[in-house]
Amino acid sequence: MNYRILGRTGVRVSPLCLGAMMFGQWGNPDPADSIKIIHRALDAGINFIDTADIYSRGESEEIVGKALADGRRDKVILATKFHASMGEDPNQQGNSRRWIFQEVEASLRRLRTDWIDLYQVHRPSADTDIEETLGALSDLVTQGKVRYVGSSTFPASQIVEAQWTARERRLTRFVCEQPPYSLLVRGVEADILPTCQRHGMGVIPWSPLAGGWLSGKWRKGSAAPSTPRAARMPARYDLSQPANQRKLEAADALGQLADSAGMSLVHLAIAFVIRHPAVTSAIIGPRTMEQLESQLGAAELMLDSAVLDRIDEIVTPGTNIHPADAGWDNPALAPAARRR
Protein backbone atom coordinates (compact mmCIF):
# COMPACT_ATOMS: atom_id res chain seq x y z
CA MET A 1 0.00 0.00 0.00
CA ASN A 2 1.33 3.46 -0.89
CA TYR A 3 1.19 5.60 2.23
CA ARG A 4 0.52 9.34 2.11
CA ILE A 5 1.58 12.28 4.27
CA LEU A 6 -1.20 13.68 6.45
CA GLY A 7 -1.08 17.40 5.68
CA ARG A 8 2.33 18.74 6.71
CA THR A 9 2.73 16.50 9.75
CA GLY A 10 5.17 14.02 8.26
CA VAL A 11 2.90 11.21 9.49
CA ARG A 12 2.25 8.57 6.84
CA VAL A 13 -1.23 7.09 6.59
CA SER A 14 -2.83 4.55 4.28
CA PRO A 15 -5.07 5.90 1.45
CA LEU A 16 -7.93 3.98 3.07
CA CYS A 17 -8.86 4.83 6.66
CA LEU A 18 -10.97 2.34 8.58
CA GLY A 19 -14.03 4.14 9.89
CA ALA A 20 -15.52 2.58 13.03
CA MET A 21 -19.03 4.09 13.01
CA MET A 22 -20.60 0.72 12.18
CA PHE A 23 -18.95 -1.11 15.09
CA GLY A 24 -21.50 -1.42 17.88
CA GLN A 25 -25.25 -1.00 18.14
CA TRP A 26 -25.40 1.47 15.24
CA GLY A 27 -24.28 -1.27 12.86
CA ASN A 28 -22.62 -4.56 13.84
CA PRO A 29 -23.77 -5.55 17.35
CA ASP A 30 -21.17 -8.34 17.65
CA PRO A 31 -17.95 -6.89 19.15
CA ALA A 32 -15.94 -10.01 18.34
CA ASP A 33 -16.88 -9.79 14.67
CA SER A 34 -16.02 -6.08 14.60
CA ILE A 35 -12.60 -6.82 16.09
CA LYS A 36 -11.98 -9.40 13.35
CA ILE A 37 -12.80 -6.74 10.74
CA ILE A 38 -10.35 -4.32 12.37
CA HIS A 39 -7.60 -6.95 12.44
CA ARG A 40 -8.22 -7.86 8.80
CA ALA A 41 -7.95 -4.20 7.79
CA LEU A 42 -4.67 -3.82 9.67
CA ASP A 43 -3.30 -7.01 8.11
CA ALA A 44 -4.20 -5.59 4.68
CA GLY A 45 -1.98 -2.56 5.29
CA ILE A 46 -4.45 -0.01 6.67
CA ASN A 47 -2.75 1.88 9.51
CA PHE A 48 -5.36 4.59 10.08
CA ILE A 49 -8.53 4.14 12.19
CA ASP A 50 -11.17 6.82 12.76
CA THR A 51 -13.93 6.68 15.36
CA ALA A 52 -15.88 9.12 17.56
CA ASP A 53 -17.29 9.25 21.06
CA ILE A 54 -20.86 9.47 19.75
CA TYR A 55 -20.67 6.27 17.66
CA SER A 56 -22.95 3.89 19.56
CA ARG A 57 -22.42 6.16 22.58
CA GLY A 58 -18.85 5.10 23.21
CA GLU A 59 -19.18 1.45 22.24
CA SER A 60 -17.27 1.94 18.99
CA GLU A 61 -14.30 3.40 20.87
CA GLU A 62 -14.42 0.49 23.31
CA ILE A 63 -14.35 -2.04 20.46
CA VAL A 64 -11.43 -0.28 18.77
CA GLY A 65 -9.60 -0.19 22.11
CA LYS A 66 -10.05 -3.94 22.58
CA ALA A 67 -8.88 -4.62 19.01
CA LEU A 68 -5.64 -2.71 19.56
CA ALA A 69 -4.96 -4.07 23.04
CA ASP A 70 -3.00 -7.02 21.63
CA GLY A 71 0.11 -4.92 20.92
CA ARG A 72 -0.98 -3.23 17.67
CA ARG A 73 -1.56 0.25 19.12
CA ASP A 74 1.90 1.67 18.34
CA LYS A 75 1.55 0.94 14.62
CA VAL A 76 -1.87 2.58 14.24
CA ILE A 77 -2.69 6.24 13.64
CA LEU A 78 -5.75 6.46 15.89
CA ALA A 79 -8.30 9.24 15.41
CA THR A 80 -11.45 10.05 17.33
CA LYS A 81 -13.83 13.00 17.63
CA PHE A 82 -15.88 14.98 20.15
CA HIS A 83 -18.79 17.45 19.96
CA ALA A 84 -22.09 15.54 19.95
CA SER A 85 -24.22 15.09 23.04
CA MET A 86 -23.13 12.23 25.29
CA GLY A 87 -25.75 12.60 28.01
CA GLU A 88 -28.69 14.54 29.38
CA ASP A 89 -26.52 17.20 31.04
CA PRO A 90 -26.48 20.23 28.69
CA ASN A 91 -22.71 20.54 29.18
CA GLN A 92 -22.00 16.98 28.03
CA GLN A 93 -21.53 18.20 24.47
CA GLY A 94 -20.04 20.93 22.36
CA ASN A 95 -16.61 22.47 21.83
CA SER A 96 -15.97 24.17 25.19
CA ARG A 97 -12.78 23.76 27.20
CA ARG A 98 -14.81 22.20 30.03
CA TRP A 99 -16.27 19.47 27.83
CA ILE A 100 -13.08 18.81 25.85
CA PHE A 101 -11.08 18.20 29.02
CA GLN A 102 -13.76 15.90 30.40
CA GLU A 103 -14.46 13.95 27.23
CA VAL A 104 -10.87 13.35 26.17
CA GLU A 105 -10.37 11.40 29.41
CA ALA A 106 -13.43 9.28 28.63
CA SER A 107 -12.21 8.57 25.10
CA LEU A 108 -8.73 7.65 26.32
CA ARG A 109 -10.28 5.27 28.82
CA ARG A 110 -12.57 3.64 26.24
CA LEU A 111 -9.74 3.37 23.69
CA ARG A 112 -7.36 1.88 26.29
CA THR A 113 -4.58 4.22 25.26
CA ASP A 114 -2.46 6.99 26.76
CA TRP A 115 -2.67 9.21 23.69
CA ILE A 116 -4.85 9.99 20.68
CA ASP A 117 -3.00 10.59 17.43
CA LEU A 118 -5.68 12.81 15.90
CA TYR A 119 -8.38 14.47 18.02
CA GLN A 120 -11.06 16.13 15.89
CA VAL A 121 -13.89 18.60 16.44
CA HIS A 122 -16.83 16.65 15.01
CA ARG A 123 -18.80 19.76 14.01
CA PRO A 124 -18.41 23.54 14.39
CA SER A 125 -20.28 25.22 17.23
CA ALA A 126 -21.87 28.61 16.70
CA ASP A 127 -21.92 29.37 20.44
CA THR A 128 -18.25 28.66 21.16
CA ASP A 129 -15.30 30.85 20.18
CA ILE A 130 -12.81 28.91 18.08
CA GLU A 131 -10.04 30.33 20.28
CA GLU A 132 -11.62 28.59 23.29
CA THR A 133 -11.60 25.27 21.43
CA LEU A 134 -8.09 25.60 20.00
CA GLY A 135 -6.74 26.74 23.36
CA ALA A 136 -8.06 23.62 25.06
CA LEU A 137 -6.78 21.35 22.29
CA SER A 138 -3.37 23.04 22.41
CA ASP A 139 -3.15 22.25 26.12
CA LEU A 140 -3.96 18.59 25.41
CA VAL A 141 -1.12 18.49 22.89
CA THR A 142 1.24 20.02 25.46
CA GLN A 143 0.12 17.41 28.00
CA GLY A 144 0.89 14.62 25.54
CA LYS A 145 -2.67 13.28 25.51
CA VAL A 146 -3.18 14.31 21.89
CA ARG A 147 -0.63 14.45 19.06
CA TYR A 148 -2.54 16.40 16.38
CA VAL A 149 -5.92 18.10 16.08
CA GLY A 150 -8.35 18.43 13.19
CA SER A 151 -11.84 19.51 12.19
CA SER A 152 -14.76 17.66 10.67
CA THR A 153 -17.49 19.04 8.40
CA PHE A 154 -16.40 22.66 8.82
CA PRO A 155 -17.39 25.21 6.16
CA ALA A 156 -14.49 26.84 4.31
CA SER A 157 -14.85 30.17 6.13
CA GLN A 158 -14.46 28.49 9.52
CA ILE A 159 -11.52 26.41 8.31
CA VAL A 160 -9.78 29.67 7.41
CA GLU A 161 -10.82 31.32 10.69
CA ALA A 162 -9.35 28.41 12.67
CA GLN A 163 -6.06 28.64 10.77
CA TRP A 164 -5.89 32.40 11.32
CA THR A 165 -6.71 32.10 15.03
CA ALA A 166 -4.07 29.41 15.55
CA ARG A 167 -1.44 31.57 13.87
CA GLU A 168 -2.36 34.85 15.59
CA ARG A 169 -2.75 33.32 19.07
CA ARG A 170 0.11 30.83 18.65
CA LEU A 171 -2.12 27.84 19.21
CA THR A 172 -2.04 24.33 17.77
CA ARG A 173 -3.61 24.39 14.31
CA PHE A 174 -5.90 21.91 12.63
CA VAL A 175 -3.77 19.65 10.45
CA CYS A 176 -6.70 18.14 8.54
CA GLU A 177 -10.37 18.41 7.71
CA GLN A 178 -12.86 15.55 7.50
CA PRO A 179 -15.67 16.49 5.06
CA PRO A 180 -18.37 14.44 3.33
CA TYR A 181 -17.24 13.62 -0.20
CA SER A 182 -18.49 11.14 -2.76
CA LEU A 183 -19.68 10.85 -6.34
CA LEU A 184 -23.09 12.09 -5.17
CA VAL A 185 -21.83 14.69 -2.68
CA ARG A 186 -19.33 16.86 -4.53
CA GLY A 187 -20.02 20.24 -2.95
CA VAL A 188 -16.65 20.29 -1.17
CA GLU A 189 -14.85 20.48 -4.51
CA ALA A 190 -15.94 24.10 -4.93
CA ASP A 191 -14.31 25.61 -1.86
CA ILE A 192 -13.40 23.27 1.00
CA LEU A 193 -10.89 21.09 -0.85
CA PRO A 194 -8.97 24.01 -2.44
CA THR A 195 -9.03 25.83 0.92
CA CYS A 196 -7.42 22.83 2.60
CA GLN A 197 -4.81 22.66 -0.14
CA ARG A 198 -3.90 26.33 0.31
CA HIS A 199 -3.40 25.82 4.04
CA GLY A 200 -1.47 22.58 3.74
CA MET A 201 -4.15 20.54 5.47
CA GLY A 202 -4.81 16.88 4.90
CA VAL A 203 -8.31 15.80 3.88
CA ILE A 204 -9.89 12.55 5.10
CA PRO A 205 -13.39 12.40 3.57
CA TRP A 206 -16.18 10.48 5.23
CA SER A 207 -18.84 8.44 3.44
CA PRO A 208 -17.20 7.90 0.03
CA LEU A 209 -20.06 5.47 -0.66
CA ALA A 210 -22.60 8.22 0.10
CA GLY A 211 -24.09 6.39 3.06
CA GLY A 212 -24.55 3.18 1.05
CA TRP A 213 -26.08 4.77 -2.05
CA LEU A 214 -22.98 3.71 -4.00
CA SER A 215 -22.82 0.17 -2.63
CA GLY A 216 -24.41 -1.15 -5.82
CA LYS A 217 -27.69 -1.98 -4.11
CA TRP A 218 -29.48 1.25 -5.01
CA ARG A 219 -30.55 0.65 -8.60
CA LYS A 220 -33.65 1.55 -10.57
CA GLY A 221 -36.20 -1.25 -10.64
CA SER A 222 -34.94 -2.75 -7.37
CA ALA A 223 -36.47 -2.46 -3.93
CA ALA A 224 -34.79 0.12 -1.70
CA PRO A 225 -32.49 -1.71 0.75
CA SER A 226 -33.29 -1.50 4.44
CA THR A 227 -30.30 -0.48 6.56
CA PRO A 228 -29.75 0.79 10.12
CA ARG A 229 -28.48 4.09 8.70
CA ALA A 230 -31.61 4.59 6.60
CA ALA A 231 -33.70 4.01 9.70
CA ARG A 232 -31.74 6.67 11.64
CA MET A 233 -31.74 9.26 8.84
CA PRO A 234 -34.92 8.74 6.77
CA ALA A 235 -34.72 12.16 5.10
CA ARG A 236 -31.60 11.05 3.22
CA TYR A 237 -33.14 7.79 1.98
CA ASP A 238 -36.90 8.34 1.57
CA LEU A 239 -37.56 7.84 -2.16
CA SER A 240 -40.73 9.92 -1.98
CA GLN A 241 -38.45 12.97 -1.84
CA PRO A 242 -37.43 14.39 -5.25
CA ALA A 243 -33.81 14.87 -4.16
CA ASN A 244 -33.52 11.18 -3.28
CA GLN A 245 -35.09 10.24 -6.60
CA ARG A 246 -32.33 12.26 -8.28
CA LYS A 247 -29.76 10.39 -6.19
CA LEU A 248 -31.26 7.10 -7.34
CA GLU A 249 -31.04 8.20 -10.99
CA ALA A 250 -27.39 9.19 -10.53
CA ALA A 251 -26.50 6.03 -8.58
CA ASP A 252 -28.02 3.89 -11.32
CA ALA A 253 -26.13 5.77 -14.05
CA LEU A 254 -22.88 5.46 -12.09
CA GLY A 255 -23.56 1.74 -11.65
CA GLN A 256 -23.92 1.38 -15.41
CA LEU A 257 -20.66 3.28 -15.88
CA ALA A 258 -18.86 0.98 -13.47
CA ASP A 259 -20.27 -2.06 -15.27
CA SER A 260 -19.09 -0.80 -18.65
CA ALA A 261 -15.64 0.00 -17.23
CA GLY A 262 -15.30 -3.51 -15.79
CA MET A 263 -15.19 -2.56 -12.13
CA SER A 264 -17.51 -2.54 -9.15
CA LEU A 265 -19.38 0.63 -8.25
CA VAL A 266 -17.78 0.42 -4.78
CA HIS A 267 -14.29 0.54 -6.29
CA LEU A 268 -15.26 3.32 -8.69
CA ALA A 269 -16.68 5.43 -5.86
CA ILE A 270 -13.73 5.06 -3.50
CA ALA A 271 -11.11 5.46 -6.23
CA PHE A 272 -12.80 8.67 -7.37
CA VAL A 273 -12.47 10.18 -3.89
CA ILE A 274 -8.87 9.20 -3.15
CA ARG A 275 -7.63 10.36 -6.58
CA HIS A 276 -8.54 14.00 -5.90
CA PRO A 277 -5.25 15.89 -5.38
CA ALA A 278 -6.45 17.36 -2.06
CA VAL A 279 -7.47 14.03 -0.51
CA THR A 280 -5.14 12.14 1.82
CA SER A 281 -7.23 9.13 2.86
CA ALA A 282 -10.85 8.10 2.36
CA ILE A 283 -12.75 6.77 5.37
CA ILE A 284 -14.43 3.46 4.61
CA GLY A 285 -17.03 2.22 7.10
CA PRO A 286 -17.69 -1.49 6.67
CA ARG A 287 -20.27 -3.20 8.86
CA THR A 288 -19.33 -6.73 7.79
CA MET A 289 -16.21 -8.56 6.66
CA GLU A 290 -17.74 -8.93 3.21
CA GLN A 291 -18.11 -5.16 2.92
CA LEU A 292 -14.50 -4.63 3.97
CA GLU A 293 -13.21 -7.12 1.41
CA SER A 294 -15.25 -5.43 -1.32
CA GLN A 295 -13.56 -2.10 -0.58
CA LEU A 296 -9.91 -2.99 -0.02
CA GLY A 297 -8.81 -3.11 -3.66
CA ALA A 298 -10.05 0.40 -4.47
CA ALA A 299 -6.77 2.02 -3.42
CA GLU A 300 -4.97 0.46 -6.38
CA LEU A 301 -7.51 1.49 -9.02
CA MET A 302 -6.81 4.23 -11.56
CA LEU A 303 -9.63 6.02 -13.39
CA ASP A 304 -9.02 7.21 -16.94
CA SER A 305 -10.17 10.52 -18.40
CA ALA A 306 -13.13 8.99 -20.21
CA VAL A 307 -14.53 7.60 -16.96
CA LEU A 308 -13.94 10.88 -15.12
CA ASP A 309 -15.62 12.86 -17.92
CA ARG A 310 -18.67 10.60 -17.77
CA ILE A 311 -18.85 11.03 -13.99
CA ASP A 312 -18.91 14.81 -14.47
CA GLU A 313 -21.81 14.41 -16.89
CA ILE A 314 -23.79 12.41 -14.33
CA VAL A 315 -23.07 14.64 -11.32
CA THR A 316 -22.00 18.24 -11.85
CA PRO A 317 -18.64 18.99 -10.17
CA GLY A 318 -18.87 21.04 -6.99
CA THR A 319 -22.51 20.19 -6.27
CA ASN A 320 -24.51 18.04 -3.85
CA ILE A 321 -27.53 16.32 -5.33
CA HIS A 322 -29.29 16.45 -1.93
CA PRO A 323 -28.47 19.39 0.40
CA ALA A 324 -29.09 17.15 3.44
CA ASP A 325 -25.98 15.15 2.57
CA ALA A 326 -23.70 18.10 3.38
CA GLY A 327 -23.64 16.90 7.00
CA TRP A 328 -24.00 20.40 8.50
CA ASP A 329 -26.86 22.88 8.66
CA ASN A 330 -25.72 26.47 8.37
CA PRO A 331 -27.21 28.31 11.40
CA ALA A 332 -27.13 31.56 9.41
CA LEU A 333 -29.90 30.13 7.22
CA ALA A 334 -32.21 29.21 10.10
CA PRO A 335 -35.45 31.25 10.10
CA ALA A 336 -34.54 33.04 13.34
CA ALA A 337 -31.26 34.25 11.81
CA ARG A 338 -32.91 35.56 8.64
CA ARG A 339 -35.86 37.50 10.04
CA ARG A 340 -35.51 41.27 9.99
142 vs 155: CA distance, rounded Å:
27
- Say how many Å lie between the first and final Cα of the chain, rounded: 55
219 pLDDT band (50/70/90 cuts)? confident
Cα–Cα distance measured from residue 96 to residue 98, given in angstroms and rounded to the nearest whole number: 5
Report the distance separating Cα 297 and Cα 291, nearest Å: 12
- Per-residue pLDDT tens over the stretch 101-153: 999 999 999 999 999 999 999 999 999 999 999 999 999 999 999 999 999 99
Provide the pLDDT for residue 30: 97
pLDDT of residue 303: 96
In the predicted model, is pLDDT for residue 340 greater than 90?
no
Q: Beta partners for 146?
A: 116
User: pLDDT (tens digit, 9 = 90+) per residue, 305-319?
Assistant: 999 999 999 999 999
10-19, 160-169, 233-242, range with the lowest pLDDT: 233-242
Residue 67 has pLDDT above 80, yes or no: yes
pLDDT of res. 226: 74
- For residue range 149-167, list pLDDT tens digits in order: 999 999 999 999 999 999 9
CA dist 35 and 310 (Å) reads 39
Average pLDDT taken over every residue of the chain: 96
pLDDT exceeds cutoff 90 at 295: yes
**How high is the pLDDT of residue 233?**
79
Scanning 144-301, the segments in alpha helix (DSSP H) are 156-169, 192-198, 228-232, 242-261, 265-274, 289-296
Residue-level pLDDT at 94: 98
pLDDT (0 to 100) of residue 253? 97
**pLDDT value of position 225:** 75
Q: Report, as an integer, the average pLDDT of 18-47.
A: 97
Instruction: Give the mean pLDDT of 42-70.
Output: 97
Residue of 173, 178, 171 lying closest to 160 (CA atoms): 173
Average pLDDT score over residue span 260-273: 98
* DSSP string computed for 24-63: STTSB--HHHHHHHHHHHHHTT--EEE--TTGGGGHHHHH
More confident residue, 240 or 82: 82
Distance separating alpha carbons of residues 103 and 114, to the nearest angstrom: 14
Q: Is the pLDDT of residue 200 over 80?
A: yes
Q: How far apart are CA 128 and CA 218, in angstroms?
A: 40
Q: Is 181 a catalytic residue?
A: no
| Residue 105, pLDDT score | 98
> What is the total count of domains within the chain?
1
Residues 205, 273 contacting (CB under 8 angstroms): yes
Residue 230 confidence (pLDDT) above 90: no
Residue 114: Cβ within 10 Å count = 9
d(CA 122, CA 321): 23
40/37 Cα distance (integer angstroms)? 5
Select which of 3, 55, 119, 181 is catalytic: 55
| Average pLDDT of the segment spanning 272-299 | 97
Measured distance CA(97)–CA(133) in Å, rounded = 6
pLDDT of 310: 98
Q: Which domain holds residue 311?
A: 4-338
pLDDT score recorded for residue 179:
98
What local confidence, expressed as pLDDT, does residue 218 receive? 87
User: Which DSSP string corresponds to 261-289?
Assistant: HTS-HHHHHHHHHHTSTT-S-EEE--SSH
CA proximity to 24, closest of 54, 49, 51, 60: 60
- Judged by DSSP in three states, 117 sits in strand
**Tens digit of each residue's pLDDT (9 = 90 or more) over 180-196:** 999 999 999 999 999 99
Does the structure show a pLDDT above 90 at 339? no
- CATH number of the domain residue 75 falls in: 3.20.20.100
Question: What does DSSP say about strands 4-5 and 12-13: parallel, antiparallel, or unpaired?
Answer: antiparallel
Mean predicted confidence (pLDDT) in 266-270: 98
